Structure 1
Amino acid sequence: MTDAATRLSRHDAPPRKATAQGPAQRVGKPVTRTDAGAARRGPFRPDVWLNARQRHASRLAAHYFRAFDVLAVTGLTLLCAAFVAPGGLIHAEVSQIAPFGLGALTTLALLRSLGRYRFSRGQRTATHLASVAGVALVGAAAAAALALVLRPGDATRWDALILWGGLNLAALTALHLTWCGRVARWRASGALTPNIVLVGATRHAEALIREALKRRDLNVLGIFDDRLARSPAAVKGVPVLGASGDLLTHKMTPYVDRIVLAIDPRAEARVRELTARLSTLPNEVTLLVEPNGAQEMTAALDRLAAAPLADIQGSADPDRRAFHKRMQDLILGLIALIALSPVMAVIALAIRLDSPGPIFFRQRRHGFNQEEIVVWKFRSMRQEAADATASRQVTHNDDRVTRIGKFIRATSLDELPQLLNVVTGEMSLVGPRPHAIGMKTGHVESARLVGEYAHRHRIKPGMTGWAAVNGSRGPLHTAQDVRRRVQLDIDYVERQSLWMDLWIMAVTVPVLLGDRAAIR
């Protein structure tokens, strides 16, 4: 494969990632550049191209790291507490096991509160391991202090506490050495290096690119400028890929972490106009204020390039909420996939016997951050009439739908293979329904009918969702249908919680089975 960054012209897509096979493909050696080619290719070449969903999954690793730490410390605590309670933990006295509990809670609380799961850029492994060891020793000291107060003369307890402290120190050191190694590999591959695009081929953009080239901790993928007639083909080697409006549909958008407005902040009307236009995208938009000197430029780039792992603190933290949602999808999705596998096997056999063609229908749809994903469904239409782009939406008594297709569409059983999309992380159990790329309402592409359409891509698409249980299900035949569904999807994105998801899943089956008006 040729260098990924060399293929980004004004309307070219980034190289296709190997989603189905595992990690994104690594790019090969860069080809020899000509002067014209250099202007198109740009100097920033990520070793791997990861879309926003894949990069966000790497940032959420902090929650997985902490889960392993909790399991390790809890297991060692129960093991050593059982050592001083021959009759079993159930019959042990509180004074026997309380020191171990206090030590474990102290250790885990300090690891979290001191930010030992952030793994910020530039942090040394030795410093991190030393701080983890210090936390383990503080936990052991807390346990020893309580033991000294409760039962100072119990020699067996002191042997167990020393054993617990040593094992705890060794286990946490080994685990965090592993975590540091994983994070270092992600940083080396570029998985944690932020990707940005600039709006405005200005001197502000030129200064930022110049400094970013020196630091190499920030990828500037391209520039968009509305003054294409006057703008250069490239700024410091970074290509100008189109006008700001092209960002709304550009193939690069799923790979962008942040959009930076590199225009004069004193042009307030222009700033407001661009912010309003780009706010329809799921990407974060930032205004670059002209730095006053090298120190402020460094601070600005530090804020843009900062890519620590997700902070596990705070009840309102979106990363924490995303982790809980992913755990919900994995656990419930796997249970559903196993439990419903006999039903899926029967449906597959019925489809095979009913009409010629494949059992499954695959369709490219928009996922998180407008990523293109392949969604799996049971085939419900005749093979020769399959409509991959949903250019013609289903109507009542549609002649394209097979006999089995009518039943599985009416009961939404055709959606069951999407459990595979949920388990692999491309979809969620609950979220805005993914629409086919290029889906039309009438003769107009649905995405062009509502300015806030892309807001529904700020969260993973779901097998069911708030819109589906509120009557917005199936084809969208009018602009008003599109507006209502988008508004319901945005309501869900803003209100999403574990309890809301559980309620939506609980009412999905009775609501969909009782919805006789929906045409699918």
Structure 2
Amino acid sequence: MGGSGGGDPGRARRGPFRPGQLIPTRARLEARVLARIFRIADILAIAAFAVTVTVESHPVAAALWAITTLIGLRALGGYAFPRKQTLARHLGEVALALGAGLLAAAVALVPPGNVDTVTVWTLLVAAGALAALHGVWWSVIARGRSQGRLTPNIVVVGATANAERLIDAAMRTGEVNVLGVFDDRLDRAPENIMGVPVLGDTTALLDHRIMPYVDRVVIAVQSTAQSRVRQLVEKLGVLPNPLNLFIDVGGPADDDAAVARIAAGGENELSGTSASARHAWLKRAQDLVVTLAGLLVAGPVMLIVAVAVKLDSPGPIFFRQRRHGFNNEEILVWKFRSMRHEMADAQAARQISANDDRVTKVGKFIRKTSLDELPQLFNVLRGEMSIVGPRPHAIGMKTGGVESAKLVAEYAHRHRMKPGLTGWAAIKGSRGPVDTPESVRLRVALDVEYIERQSFWLDLYVIVMTIPCLLGDRSAVR
């Protein structure tokens, strides 16, 4: 186990993995998804050049060049983008694939009368263009990794020899960033393990400010300590972050493979809700399409509401409130102001009630029709929210004088997905304030049910049902 190292003390506290900028987990991308996009772009570019050569009456040469180049790029790892691969090495592999493609085309052009200058130059330009594209692809991946957008962040529970194995594997492979270690036996724990700082005990982990940037919590106690693992899962299961177990079996190659699976979300997952990259991209695309359409339709209405709010009472048009987002990230949610400015309650210490004296005349109407929520379309555009998801609650919101998050053990589970403009709970009748312990439990239960069932079609159903549910509900206090 490592102790404190020399060199820059600030660097020692931050650890060897800490990226220059911490990126919220909602903004994390997967290199393999980008690689698929790059491959599709390559196929389109190769097809365009092949058509050009075919038009010049060399269909066989075009087909051989295109097929051989694509097979070569795939076989030589042109879309693998290993973490420690240099640009020169990547372009070298690409050059081999391009060379094989040109050689295949040359075979078709060898018979007398088949060779012409235009075809040769077209294929050479195509090869140069593809090499340039791969220079761009490599740069995008390298920049994303340097910014922390492509490498998952984890924290480790257990300052053990097992944790040291995990960190050693992470250093070899570069598959994950290990931001810190937590251990309940701080009196026996070192200041750091191989440079990764020990940040506190598991109680500190639950509310640590670094957690919105953590993709996974990895338990690294000895795999034989089953009772200890169960205790940790029970305690840490309240977190929105997925939990994984690192098993100390095998040698360095097995450790490297386990870390790669943890990075991909497939290694001994103990809790949390896994969402594939495909589902995440599909949901984001759905959000953008619906939001842009919504802004186009609701733009004039938003302008009228803004003018009405300004004329109705003194104060700003918008009300901004810090709320919990994905993985407990703090986000600034926008609404049209519906209360008197001097009586605004950013912490939601007092929830809305019927005939609330804080609400303005215009505020009553826009709250009743939910028009006050329309500015949250901009939160969706920024990627902080989705169209459909658990409604974001104010940080520190209270129910009956007690912080709402403390009334339900699974409260943070609703943060395993981006908050939504509307949601499953909303169309099932759980709208407005959660002013009793029972209403908090119902809201959380419905939110968790949605997270477990979430799909493209369920989201469409919620979107379609939102308007009739709002118009048909005259009893909910909003």
TM-score normalized with structure 2 length: 0.81
Task: Find the counterpart in structure 1 of residue 81 from structure 2.
Answer: 119
Shift of 1:175: 2.5
2:452 to 484, 494, 507: 494
Return the letter of the residue paired with 1:421: N
Letter in 2 for 1:514: G
Quote how far apart the aligned CAs of 1:494 are.
Answer: 2.2
Give the distance between the partners of 1:269 and 1:204, measured in 2 at CA: 17
Gaps of at least 5 residues in structure 2 are 1-5, 266-273
Specify the alignment match of 1:310 in structure 2. Answer: none
Cα distance in 2 for partners of 1:397, 1:143 equals 79
2-side partners of 1:98 and 1:509: how far apart?
Answer: 58
Unaligned runs of 5+ in 1: 1-29, 86-95, 149-154, 308-315
The whole-number CA distance in structure 1 between the counterparts of 2:375 and 2:221 is 47
**C-alpha contact (below 8 Å) 1:59/1:192 kept by paired residues:** no
Residues 140 and 161 in structure 1, CA contact (< 8 A), matched pair in contact too: no
1:52 aligned onto 2:48: no
Q: From the superposition, tell whether residues 56 and 449 of structure 1 become closer, same or farther in structure 2 (CA, over 3 Å).
A: farther
1:349 aligns with 2:311: no
> Which residue number in structure 1 is paired with residue 322 of structure 2?
364
Distance 1:57 1:459, change over 3 A: farther
* Deviating more after overlay: 367-376 vs 210-219: 210-219
1:98/1:419 CA distance change after superposition, 3 Å: farther
Q: Are the equivalent residues in 1 in contact too, given 2:29–2:149 (CA < 8 A)?
A: no
- SS state at 1:392 partner: coil
**Residues 137 and 518 of structure 1, relative CA distance in 2, 3 Å threshold:** farther
Amino acid at match of 1:121: R
Cα shift at 1:401: 0.8
Conservation of the 8 A alpha-carbon contact between 1:136 and 1:168:
no
1:432/1:331 Cα in 2 relative to 1: closer, same or farther (>3 Å)? same
Deviation for aligned residue 1:43: 5.1
Shift of 1:386: 0.9
1:251 to 1:504, Cα distance in 2 relative to 1, 3 A? same
Aligned to 2:240: 282
Deviations 1:409-467 (CA, angstroms, capped at 9, x unpaired):
11111111111111111111111111111112222222222222222222211111111
Q: Partner amino acid for 1:362?
A: R
CA distance in 2: counterparts of 1:78 and 1:58, whole angstroms: 30
Q: How does 1:376-387 map to 2 (within 5 A)?
A: 376-387=334-345
Which of 289, 300, 318 is the aligned partner of 2:276? 318
Q: Which amino acid aligns with 2:28?
A: R
Task: Give the alignment partner of residue 228 of structure 2, picking from 242, 253, 270.
Answer: 270
- Cα distance in 1 between the residues matched to 2:419 and 2:77: 31
Aligned amino acid, residue 388 of structure 1 = A
- Secondary structure at the counterpart of residue 424 of structure 2: coil
The 1:80/1:211 distance shift into structure 2, 3 A limit, reads: closer
Aligned Cα root-mean-square deviation (Å): 4.2
Structure 1 distance, partners of 2:437, 2:71, is 52
Partners of 1:227 and 1:511 in 2: CA distance: 52
Q: Aligned partner of 1:509: which letter?
A: I
Deviation of residue 176 (structure 1)? 2.6
Q: Classify 1:48/1:396 alpha carbon distance in 2 versus 1 (closer, same or farther; 3 Å).
A: same
Partner of residue 268, structure 2: none
What displacement does 1:500 show? Answer: 1.9
Q: Which amino acid aligns with 1:240?
A: V
- What amino acid maps onto 2:408 in structure 1? V
2:152 pairs, out of 194, 200, 225, with 194
Structure 1 residue 136 displacement after superposition: 7.5
Residues 314-338 of structure 1: per-residue CA shift (max 9 Å, x gap): xx97101111111222233223223
Counterpart-to-counterpart distance in 1, 2:252 and 2:226 = 25
Task: Give the 5 Å matches for 1:43-192.
Answer: 44-56=17-29, 61-62=34-35, 65=38, 68-69=41-42, 72=45, 117-125=79-87, 128-129=90-91, 169-192=127-150
1:329 aligns with 2:281: no
Looking at structure 1, the residues matched to 322 and 462 of structure 2 have their Cα atoms a distance apart, in angstroms, of 25
SS at match of 2:390: coil
Deviation at 1:225, TM superposition (A): 1.9
Q: Does the 8 Å contact 1:121/1:306 carry over to 2?
A: no
Aligned residues: 464
How has the CA–CA distance of structure 1 residues 64 and 514 changed in structure 2, closer, same or farther, with 3 Å as cutoff?
farther
Paired residue for 1:413? 371
**Given residue 464 of structure 1, which amino acid in structure 2 is its aligned partner?**
T
> Once the 2 structures are TM-superposed, how far is the Cα of residue 388 of structure 1 from its aligned partner?
1.0
Which stretch shows the higher mean deviation, 431-440 or 289-298?
289-298
Q: Could you list the per-position Cα deviations for residues 70-104 of structure 1 after superposition, in whole angstroms to 9, with x for gaps in the alignment?
A: 665676677788x589xxxxxxxxxx999999998
Distance in structure 2 (CA, Å) of the matches to 1:509 and 1:53: 28
The residue that corresponds to 1:374 in the other structure is 332
Q: Does the 8 A contact of 1:222 with 1:241 survive in 2?
A: yes
Match of 1:467, SS? helix
Question: Would you say 1:445 and 2:403 are equivalent positions?
Answer: yes
Report if the CA contact (8 A) 1:48-1:191 is conserved. no
C-alpha distance in 2 between matches for 1:57 and 1:345: 38
- Equivalent position amino acid for 1:265 in 2: S
SS of 2:29 mapped into structure 1: helix
- C-alpha distance in structure 1 between counterparts of 2:338 and 2:236, whole Å: 38
Q: How far has the Cα of 1:491 moved from its partner?
A: 2.2
1:436 corresponds, among 375, 385, 394, to 394
> Which letter maps to 1:53?
R
Structure 2 counterpart of 1:369, which letter? N
Give the Cα–Cα distance (whole angstroms) in 2 for the partners of residues 210 and 338 of structure 1: 52
